[in-house]
Chains A and B, each alone.
Chain A
Amino acid sequence: AQKVTQAQTEISVVEKEDVTLDCVYETRDTTYYLFWYKQPPSGELVFLIRRNSFDEQNEISGRYSWNFQKSTSSFNFTITASQVVDSAVYFCALRPFQGGNTPLVFGKGTRLSVIA
């Protein structure tokens, strides 16, 4: 079975602080993909990043960085120098590769509030 756990339900930080959102996943598949999505107050789901299970390189995109560790089945997301616009619900998701076109399994999300 596939499962994604985001243990942090809500996080509140002051602007310019760094914040890390945790994600732990479970899967028996050897090939899979991991994702992060952002859901701002307006409600849409915005794709942020995709990693495949064979690529454990960390990735940085501006103030965002992701740390993928297969040994601990974790795919954590760090926002550096947070801004009020980062306030949103962030979802981690897993997509097993079983011949393609499988649905995403989402964690329950972490609500991040950045206070000015």
Chain B
Amino acid sequence: DSGVTQTPKHLITATGQRVTLRCSPRSGDLSVYWYQQSLDQGLQFLIQYYNGEERAKGNILERFSAQQFPDLHSELNLSSLELGDSALYFCASSVTQGGGELFFGEGSRLTVL
């Protein structure tokens, strides 16, 4: 158990819909990262937050947004969903400084029909 909690584990929805994925980082970790894993693109970095502020942005679509709340949990919002958004979405957290490892949650598997 990595200590990172993601909900829901599985989600099935239709094209055009909007979903919210939730992540609770490990206790004490201020950084949260979101990754998307699809079959053809591998593990793609989406966005990073540190103590409530956006710190880095990767290949995140404009239809996607995220935020980190004062209690440090984070939400990834995916809107106007398309079939190609079907993927496994991971949240990870890390210690505040240095090059420590990222601890990943079990992922949220999104299926868009």
Contacts and interface: CB of A to CB of B under 8 A. Distances in A.
Interface stretch (A13-21, A61-69, A98-106): A98-106
Main secondary structure on chain A at its contact with chain B? loop
A31 B98 CA distance: 10
Contact of A109 (B42, B94, B99): B42
B80 interface: no
Q: How many of chain A's residues touch chain B, expressed as a range? A: 20 to 34
A50 B107 contact: no
Contacts of A32: 99
B106 interface: yes
Interface string B25-60: 000000101010000001101001010000110100
A101 B50 contact: yes
Contacts of A107: 42
A62 B65 CA distance: 42
Contacts of A100: 96-99
A67 to B, nearest CB: 19
Contacts of A97: 98-99
B88 interface: yes
B99 A44 contact: no
Interface of B: 2, 31, 33, 35, 42-43, 45, 48, 50, 55-56, 58, 88, 90, 92, 94, 96-107, 109
Given A100-B97, A104-B92, 5 more contacts: A44-B105, A45-B90, A50-B101, A91-B43, A109-B42
- For the complex of A and B, list the 3 residue pairs with the smallest distance between their C-beta atoms, beginning with the closest: A33-B99, A45-B104, A106-B43
